[in-house]
Amino acid sequence: MKTRLSLKVRAGAPVTKFAGEYGDGWKLHVAAPPVDGKANDAIVRFLARLAGIAAADVRIVSGASASTKIVEFEGLDAATLQRAILESHGRPTDTGSAPARKA
């Protein structure tokens, strides 16, 4: 089973993290510079660790030298990947309660 993920990448960020949704994919800020493949290597390692799979099972299949990339995951289903991204992104959960009022 293979799953693909679309990314809009900004290299040279202060920290590697997801920065929100981008169309059908995600924006990813990467701390590594876009030099000599360092950002791509950092993306692969970050996503593998996030998904709980080996880095060898993650590869950039499109956009190696572009800011828009397609990454493929071997042995990971789309629902598991999406859940891992949402958990790492720290999306606030809806508690169902009204926001607090200012006095």
pLDDT of 85 reads 92
Mean pLDDT (whole number) for 38-49: 97
Three-state secondary structure string covering 30-43: ECCCCCCCHHHHHH
Domains of the chain: 2-89 (3.30.1200.10)
What does the mean pLDDT of the chain come to?
89
Q: Structure pTM?
A: 0.83
**Tens digit of each residue's pLDDT (9 = 90 or more) over 62-86:** 999 999 999 999 999 999 999 999 9
Choose between 92 and 28: higher pLDDT. Answer: 28
Structure tokens at 62: 């499109």
Question: Which residue shows structure tokens 């089973």?
Answer: 1
pLDDT band at 14 (very low <50, low <70, confident <90, very high): very high
pLDDT of 90 reads 63
Mean pLDDT (whole number) for 13-37: 94
**Residue 51: is its pLDDT beyond 60?**
yes
